[in-house]
Structure 1
Amino acid sequence: MYTQGSLLDDIEEIGLRSLSANRRTPLSDGAWVDVRPGWMTGADEVFAALRESVPWQAERRRMYDREVDTPRLLRFYGEHEPLPHPILGAARTELDRHYAAELGERFTTAGLCLYRDGRDSVAWHGDTFGRSATQDTMVAIVSLGAPRPLLLRPTSETARREHTGGTLRFVVGHGDLVVMGGSCQRTWQHAVPKVSGALGPRISVQFRPHDVR
């Protein structure tokens, strides 16, 4: 059982804080983002366990006329595959409970990314493989380790017209939760840019419903 540790403890116990403290930012064209700072307690311990136990994989991708290394390490856990740490199962269950009325289905998969330092990144994209190309959905991201900026920008014609504030920037780490919902995956894009200077590693855990990648 996972419980929140006392603030007087030297080492915070692994657990989950209430999602009732989520802060929602309405975007444009039916998109929104929820942020819950410090949702997962004991996040440094979870990060260390995942970094050591997950069988991280390096992948290559086609870019123009050559193959290049993907600038991060990856591991995808399918719908019926055991997750690599019990708190991730607890997190998925709590997300299912909290977003049941809005999402109407369960989060079923977990994609993990290890950003080894500031040189690792992910380019602008939306998770539009599968149903999210045409349907509203949610992607919930738990960020562990060193904080990194998560950027969002509007891409649909309606989203660009309605949103006049430029690129949005959320700095997430140490157990923070970000949930992108509504039309966000097809009307907005997100990215984790490269960061110069000394920077520690980060792991992101992305929970998604069935047939959303």
Structure 2
Amino acid sequence: MAQSLARSLADAQRTPLSHGAWVDLAHSWLPEPDTVFETLAREVPWRAERRQMYDRLVDVPRLVHTYMIGEELPHPSLGEAREALSAHYQSELGEPFRTAGCCYYRDGRDSVAWHGDTIGRGSTHDTMVAIVSVGDPRRLLLRPRGGGDSVAVEMGHGDLLVMGGSCQRTWEHAVPKVAHSGPRISVQFRPFNVF
């Protein structure tokens, strides 16, 4: 299956953004997204986090877990997806994808605020973050850092979005709250030391 995933990456549509940033989008890329979603929802050791926001601690509006280097992923399709992504983007990225961060958006109230993955090397170097989405569709928004018009990408069941070039430094992304949505899980593949 990794070979068929790699072949289908050739059909991903690249959209150039400003300042050397770009995104690739491949709809219905991941095979068996129903099974992957069910396995992730059941087997990932999800945890709730709290963060300091100004003068108080607040609940992070989603559940999270990260699979670090060397840890087995909960569904074989995800390991094959990571291999296919690493092989396809090797010439641009220069290294494999190593970790897999998981976010569980339980309903439309769960979200993630505007941010770039700029902890680690993403703050100073071009890098990539590849996001596989399973479950109910949600919009991922991108906007230039410092403000400007946003770009909306509908992330559907089994879709892949790759943010590359300077995207983490020069653009921000968010998944806003919505009035109605069923559960969605995103898996973010990253190279070493990009958070």
- Under TM normalisation by the shorter chain, which class is it? over 0.9
- What are the within-5 Å matches in structure 2 for residues 1-213 of structure 1? 18-155=8-145, 166-197=149-180, 199-213=181-195
Q: Alpha-carbon deviation of 1:82?
A: 1.2
Task: Sort the Cα spacing of 1:17 and 1:119 in 2 relative to 1 into closer, same or farther, 3 A.
Answer: farther
Q: Higher Cα Rg: structure 1 or 2?
A: 1
Task: Report the count of equivalent residues.
Answer: 195
**Deviation per CA, 1:95-121, whole angstroms, max 9, x where unpaired?**
011001000001000000000000000
TM-score with structure 1 length normalisation?
0.88
Q: Distance in 1 between matches of 2:183 and 2:116?
A: 23
Q: CA RMSD in A?
A: 1.6
Task: Say whether the 8 Å CA contact 1:17–1:40 is kept in structure 2.
Answer: no
Q: 1:8 aligns to what?
A: none
Q: Distance in 1 between matches of 2:20 and 2:2?
A: 35
Task: Say whether the 8 Å CA contact 2:99–2:191 is kept in structure 1.
Answer: yes
Q: Which runs of 5+ in 2 are unaligned?
A: none
Which SS does the other structure have where 1:28 is aligned? Answer: coil
Q: Distance in 1 between matches of 2:123 and 2:27?
A: 28
Which SS does the other structure have where 2:52 is aligned? Answer: strand
Q: Alpha-carbon deviation of 1:16?
A: 7.5
Q: Which runs of 5+ in 1 are unaligned?
A: 5-14
Q: Percent identity at matched positions?
A: 63
TM-score with structure 2 length normalisation?
0.96
The one-letter code of the counterpart of 1:194 is: K
